[in-house]
Amino acid sequence: MRVLVTGGAGYIGSHTLLELMAQGHEVCVLDNYTNATPEVLTRVRALSNGAVTDYVGDVRDPAKLDEVMQNFQPEAVIHFAGLKAVGESTQKPLYYYDVNVGGTLALLHAMDRAGCKRLIFSSSATVYGDPVYLPYDEAHPTTPTSVYGRTKLIAEQMLQDWAAAQPGASAVLLRYFNPVGAHSSGRIGEDPKDIPNNLMPFIAQVAVGKRAALSVFGDDYDTPDGTGKRDYIHVVDLARAHVAALNYAQTNTGARPFNIGTGDSYSVRDMVAAFERASGVTIPTQLAPRRAGDIAAMQADATRAKAELGWDAKHSLDEMTASTWAWQSANPDGYDS
Ligand code: NAD
Ligand code: UD1
């Protein structure tokens, strides 16, 4: 299929491009590089030995979207382009609504004008909010606790309404758990621009000496070792889920959410120990207060994705940490290395 990938130069998008091309799909990227660098696509091209058409532009720009749609004629769109920092979303709510909701709306309008009816959407487990029960299944109530989470939920609802009103339309809503890890080549990976908000990139930067110590945000949670537990998923497994979702969208209409996680969960202390095993480097830690908005634990029930998409996670925790280490040690300053 011809697949337009918005935000394709980002962390998850770049890994997904490689999986799409490996399966024979033709890809085109639209990215405005607010959180990426063109070097990403240079490396993706080198790794795949394939063609990646790309456009520099904003997903909120109707003229740019029309240009891309007319030139590339996509049969499906994977929509990664968006903003993802929970803390920043509280400080700049209108910016987050503009990009994450407004960007999705502008894209749907352009797809309608071009007659494109298949969309795979990057949603998040954060749409569930405080757990009423765990593991979360897709029927769990959705009451997000941050602006970021609300932008994802509103976009999902918009896609539900769009798919219901458009005969033949298909919207696959992928609710990612915690993506970590990197491509096996060590050539592409996660490259946070500022101080990392998330655990794994922070640990990786401590390991290469860019940060002195990891702050452990609370050790008095109701978990076996008191630190927060999450369902970490290897980014290559997550990328594979998009290929599975594309296949699903070819034969199914309507909108459907899917949890994309492993069903396992690990604590902060587990992650530090696994990273030390993979890297041979000791990670200094210091205890810090709980981070506002954090929950004790979360975990996916991913049985729907297995049953309906034919997808499940294949990579172990050690593969997540080893690939992160391979990427970070070879590229201590990310794509600026
Ligand atoms: P990322 O920031 O690495 O990638 C997003 C890409 O979109 C970047 O290349 C950025 O330059 C581009 N972009 C941003 N705004 C744009 C705009 N207005 N127009 C065009 N391009 C724009 O993030 P990621 O981790 O790859 O996440 C991809 C998607 O998955 C996001 O929508 C994010 O909210 C969602 N998601 C991510 C996580 C995670 O932990 N990484 C978890 C759940 C959901
Ligand atoms: C965070 C976001 C969530 C988003 C997800 C993307 C918040 C409150 N939540 O989730 O909305 O979908 O990222 O992956 O920001 N930790 C430390 N020290 C650190 C960083 C993290 O101890 O320096 C702990 C956290 O308290 C948590 C665990 O590590 O227990 C994982 O944190 P993180 O990687 O930020 O992911 P989430 O909190 O799950």
Model confidence pLDDT, tens digit, residues 223-269: 999 999 999 999 999 999 999 999 999 999 999 999 999 999 999 99
Residue 21 has pLDDT above 90, yes or no: yes
What would the pLDDT profile of 282-308 be if each residue is shown by its tens digit? 999 999 999 998 999 999 999 999 999
Q: Is 148 a catalytic residue?
A: yes
Measured CA to CA, the distance from residue 110 to residue 104 in angstroms comes to 10
**Residue with CA closest to ligand 2 atom 20:** 199
Mean pLDDT of 204-209: 97
230 C-beta closer than 6 A to ligand 2: yes
Element spanning 239, H or E:
helix 235-251
**pTM exceeds 0.95:** yes
How many CA atoms lie less than 13 Å away from 40 in the CB half-sphere?
28
Pick from 115, 11, 106: nearest CA to 60: 106
User: Which pLDDT band, with edges at 50, 70 and 90, does 164 fall under?
Assistant: very high
User: Which pLDDT band, with edges at 50, 70 and 90, does 79 fall under?
Assistant: very high
193 C-beta closer than 6 A to ligand 1: no
Mutate to test the pocket of ligand 2, among 176, 197, 269 (most ligand atoms within 8 A of CB): 197
Residue 195's contacts (CB-CB under 8 Å, 6 or more residues apart) are: 202, 211
Label the pairing between strands 232-234 and 178-180: parallel
Using DSSP's 3-state secondary structure scheme, residue 238 falls into helix
pLDDT of residue 157: 98
Q: Which of 136, 148, 176, 248 is catalytic?
A: 148
pLDDT of residue 337: 85
